[in-house]
């Protein structure tokens, strides 16, 4: 028998498995991707937050990866950490969750704890997961425990990880909440129980909707502050000195990652589908944030106009194409629609990113440069899209013919503009 089985060995599942293994739990990881399983069992990591040495440590502690669903029957607790991408209708695509639940149902036994961590709309645990698990006669809350606990992994965050980030837990019954909380309590510092699964599901959506809306606020302010000749970055620096009632958010070329561009849509879709009216804040925020790459293109045109150049025929260098600094994760990166629109306007686009050797945006037609300083000297316009810590932004600003800084880290001068 093992203490825990983790289904889905990606950005969420692997840090969870690592924290549990380090706390002394016996853990098996399940994934349908046999190449991922083989790499992990060979001590090779495929996610940013874990190095090969971390996987080797997990293996030494007894962790193993498998594609054999029969191994799930050995687990006292099973945690579902599979992707929930956005479906065509704006809601979550639950195919991975449904497949995982069907796999668990075939191995379910009395006394098990089953926990869904994949982000989704309120009601999924009770309406989608529970009926499948109960189909053969076992009842949630009586024969096995069922709960939802939203993942809160922040890739690249060196301060907060699976162990010291508080874990929200909501069960189908109070006994389910208690069982899931006891499981997480073995390797997570703080467990936060909620009234039920729907509250836990909605808590995750509120967290990311809050960020989505506030990012949209400063993105819209960036536009009119530029038109009014106001330095928004200086405004934010001044406002954040207030010790209460204000949290700083910053503008950028768009939002990216596996949460902010996706999760608020689950809540908006659920409200429309169930209640018949819009979640207006979310839909407006989505509209504003999704148009930021286009706004950056217009600013690029203006910057080139200052040199009496057109965007068409100009060479534009993009620095940093991942969705956040110092990781290789490209999911939903705003660099993709930015590059697409620049190419559509006739620009020749090049890129550099220390974490991305082969960028498949636009079918891989955008070429990588090896030396960003030399490329900035040659390009008609350089756009700092992502501020990786390895970039010497002062040197890049000196080298560039003209630079558009979307991250507010380069002092403005006659050749440097900030978003």
Record the tokens describing residue 91, joined without a space: 């809601």
Taking only the tens place, the pLDDT of each residue in 336-384 is 999 999 999 999 999 999 999 999 888 888 999 999 999 999 999 999 9
Of residues 362 and 291, which shows the higher confidence score? 291
Question: Among the three residues 197, 230, 255, which one is the final residue of a domain in this structure?
Answer: 197
Residue 136 maps to a domain: yes
How far, in Å, CA of 240 to CA of 238, rounded?
A: 6
CA 362 to chain centre: 21
CA dihedral 98, 101, 103, 107 (to 10 degrees): -160
Record the tokens describing residue 149, joined without a space: 């606990």
48 and 179 share a domain? yes
Paired residues of 2 in beta bridges: 75
181 and 40 share a domain? yes
Record the tokens describing residue 181, joined without a space: 């909380």
19 and 144 share a domain? yes
298 and 191 share a domain? no
Place of tokens 């997961």: 129
Whether the predicted pLDDT of 118 surpasses 90: yes
Residue 392 maps to a domain: yes
Taking only the tens place, the pLDDT of each residue in 223-258 is 999 999 999 999 999 999 999 999 999 999 999 877
Report the chain's terminal Cα–Cα distance, integer Å: 56
How far, in Å, CA of 302 to CA of 417, rounded?
A: 10
Mean per-residue pLDDT of the chain: 95
Residue 211 maps to a domain: no
Residue 268 maps to a domain: no
141-170 burial: b if 16+ Cβ within 10 Å, else e = beebbbbbbbbbbbbeeeeebbbebebbbb
Please report the pLDDT score of residue 352 as a whole number.
98
Q: Are strands 403-405 and 315-319 parallel, antiparallel or unpaired?
A: unpaired
190 and 301 share a domain? no
Question: Among the three residues 197, 229, 250, which one is the final residue of a domain in this structure?
Answer: 197
The sheet carrying 113-116 orders its strands as 64-66, 27-30, 2-7, 75-80, 113-116, 145-148, 167-171, 191-193
The CATH number of whichever domain residue 348 belongs to comes to: 3.40.50.720
Residue 286 maps to a domain: no
* Residue 6 near residue 17 (C-beta atoms within 8 A): yes
Percent residues over pLDDT 90 in the chain: 85
**Sequence-distant (≥ 6) Cβ neighbours of residue 322 within 8 angstroms:** 256, 328, 329, 330, 333, 335, 353, 355, 356, 386, 388
Nearest-Å Rg of the Cα atoms of the chain is 23
Give the least confident one: 62-76, 157-171, 269-283, 359-373: 269-283
43 and 188 share a domain? yes
Place of tokens 């608020």: 264
172 and 307 share a domain? no
* Residue 81 near residue 150 (C-beta atoms within 8 A): no
Residue 137 maps to a domain: yes
Taking only the tens place, the pLDDT of each residue in 67-84 is 999 999 999 999 999 999
177 and 320 share a domain? no
Residues known to be catalytic: 259
> CB atoms < 10 A from the CB of 307, how many?
12
Whether the predicted pLDDT of 287 surpasses 80: yes
User: Could you tell me the CA-to-CA distances from 324 to 69, 149, 253, 330, 363 in Å, in that order?
Assistant: 35, 25, 11, 8, 22
Residue 205 maps to a domain: no
Which residue range forms the structural domain that includes residue 340?
291-419
Question: Among the three residues 197, 212, 243, which one is the final residue of a domain in this structure?
Answer: 197
Which residues in 91-174 belong to E strands, given as ranges? 113-116, 145-148, 167-171
Place of tokens 């940013």: 48
How far, in Å, CA of 4 to CA of 387, rounded?
A: 38
User: Could you tell me the CA-to-CA distances from 178 to 109, 196, 298, 369 in Å, in that order?
Assistant: 19, 11, 54, 54
Whether the predicted pLDDT of 265 surpasses 90: no
184 and 297 share a domain? no
How far, in Å, CA of 70 to CA of 253, rounded?
A: 46
Residue 276 maps to a domain: no
- DSSP string computed for 71-111: GGGGEEEEEE----PBPTTSSB--HHHHHHHHHHHTT--TT
- What is the number of structural domains in the chain? 2
191 and 299 share a domain? no
């Amino acid at each position: 028998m093992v203490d825990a089985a983790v289904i889905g060995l990606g950005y969420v599942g692997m840090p969870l498995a690592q924290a549990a293994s380090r706390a002394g739990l016996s853990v098996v990881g399940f994934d349908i991707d046999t190449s991922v399983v083989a790499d992990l069992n060979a001590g090779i990591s495929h996610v940013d937050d874990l190095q090969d040495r971390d996987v080797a440590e997990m293996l030494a502690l007894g962790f193993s990866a498998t594609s054999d669903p029969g191994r799930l029957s050995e687990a006292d607790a099973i945690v579902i950490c599979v992707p929930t991408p956005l479906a065509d209708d704006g809601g979550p695509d639950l195919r991975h969750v449904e497949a995982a639940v069907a796999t668990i149902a075939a191995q379910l036994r009395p006394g098990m704890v089953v926990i869904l961590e994949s982000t989704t709309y309120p009601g999924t645990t009770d309406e989608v997961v529970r009926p499948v698990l109960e189909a053969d006669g076992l009842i949630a809350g009586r024969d096995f425990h069922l709960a939802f606990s939203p993942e809160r992994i922040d890739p690249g965050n060196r301060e907060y990880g699976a162990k010291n980030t508080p874990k929200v837990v909501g069960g189908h019954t109070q006994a389910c909440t208690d069982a899931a909380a006891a499981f997480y309590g073995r390797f997570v510092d703080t467990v936060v129980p909620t009234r039920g699964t729907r509250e836990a599901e909605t808590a995750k959506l509120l967290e990311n909707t809050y960020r989505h809306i506030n990012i949209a606020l400063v993105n819209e302010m960036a536009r009119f502050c530029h038109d009014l000749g106001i330095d928004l970055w200086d405004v934010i620096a001044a406002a954040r000195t207030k010790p209460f009632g204000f949290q700083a958010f910053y503008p950028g070329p768009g939002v990216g990652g596996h949460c902010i561009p996706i999760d608020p849509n689950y809540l908006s879709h659920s409200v429309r589908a169930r209640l018949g009216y819009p979640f207006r804040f979310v839909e407006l925020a989505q509209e504003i944030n999704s148009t930021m790459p286009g706004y950056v293109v217009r600013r690029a045109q203006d910057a080139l106009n200052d040199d009496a150049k057109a965007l068409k025929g100009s060479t534009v260098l993009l620095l940093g194409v991942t969705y956040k600094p110092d990781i290789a994760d490209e999911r939903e990166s705003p660099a993709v629609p930015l590059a697409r629109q620049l190419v559509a306007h006739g620009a020749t686009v090049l890129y550099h990113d220390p974490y991305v050797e082969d960028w498949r945006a636009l079918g891989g037609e955008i070429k990588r440069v090896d030396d960003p300083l030399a490329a900035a000297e040659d390009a008609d316009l350089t756009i700092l899209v992502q501020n990786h810590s390895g970039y010497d932004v002062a040197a890049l600003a000196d080298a560039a013919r003209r630079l558009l800084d979307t991250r507010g880290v380069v002092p403005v001068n006659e050749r440097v503009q900030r978003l």
